[in-house]
Amino acid sequence: MKVGLFFGSFNPLHVGHLVIANYVAEFSGIDQVWFMVTPQNPDKPQSTLLPDHHRYEIVFRSVTDYPRFKVSNFEFSLPKPSYTINTLTHLTEKYPNHEFSLIMGMDNLQTFHKWKNYRQILENYKLIVYPRPGYDGGDLAYDKHISVVHAPLMEISSSFIRQSIKDGRDVRFFLPQQAWEYVDEMNFYRK
């Protein structure tokens, strides 16, 4: 099975994430997209994140009705901070018959050379890169292990959604309905 791994804090998951994942699932030769809910990104402060189980629940409620999407809490049991190379190593051991690819934005590709063991990742896994406004991916955009897909440009961000909710704005249409209902019910991001 060909699996695209879409890592993120998903704080919260929004329609931009789903549009990109849907595009990759339908147009990139991938059988499934796994939303890898990350407990702690080494580049993001922990204090800005909802607790892991809430972010997992937001994604779970949003993707369960589409058979080509799966949510994973695989990284929750791994040492923190989470490094992609460690997760990939563990996933490959656990699922030896799966072929894993990384799904990432052009903005992440631009700084990919700073990731832990990035060369090892490039040599062993395919990268599926979607466009982000203002980024060209740098020199790595032409690497033979990288496939740039023409997914729609998405200018929605989780930080915009969090700030909008904090400011009292109704941004329900930026999130899947199930995610919005959970965020609203739990009063997340209002403080």
Q: Is the pLDDT of residue 97 over 90?
A: yes
DSSP category for residue 144: T
pLDDT at res. 143: 84
- Whether 42 has a pLDDT exceeding 60, the answer reads no
Nearest of 155, 114, 162, 161 to residue 135 by alpha carbon: 155
- Residue 45 confidence (pLDDT): 63
In contact, 144 and 12? CB cutoff 8 Å: no
pLDDT score for 136: 87
Which pLDDT belongs to residue 189?
95
pLDDT beyond 80 at 160: yes
What is the spatial distance between Cα 106 and Cα 141, in angstroms, rounded to a whole number? 8
Q: Which top CATH class is 2-154?
A: alpha beta
Instruction: Say if residue 79 is preceded by a cis peptide, omega within 30 of 0.
Output: no
Mean pLDDT of the chain: 93
Write down the number of H helices and E strands in the chain: 7, 6
Q: How many CB atoms lie within 10 A of CB 113?
A: 12
| Cβ contact 56:39 at 8 Å | no
List pLDDT tens digits, range 119-159: 999 999 999 999 988 888 888 878 888 999 999 998 899 99
Q: So what's the pLDDT on residue 11?
A: 96
Q: What is the mean pLDDT of residues 50-74?
A: 97
Q: How confident is the model at residue 105 (pLDDT cuts 50, 70, 90)?
A: very high
- Range 173-186 average pLDDT: 97
Q: What pTM does this model have? A: 0.93
176: left (phi over 0), alpha (psi -120 to 50) or beta: beta
Q: Which whole-number Å values give the CA distances from 185 to 42, 54, 58, 175, 188, in the listed order?
A: 30, 12, 12, 14, 8
Residue whose entry in the numeric block shows the structure tokens 């496939």:
147
What is the C-alpha end-to-end distance of the chain, expressed in Å? 43
Per-residue pLDDT, 10: 97
| Residue ranges covered by each domain of the chain | 2-154
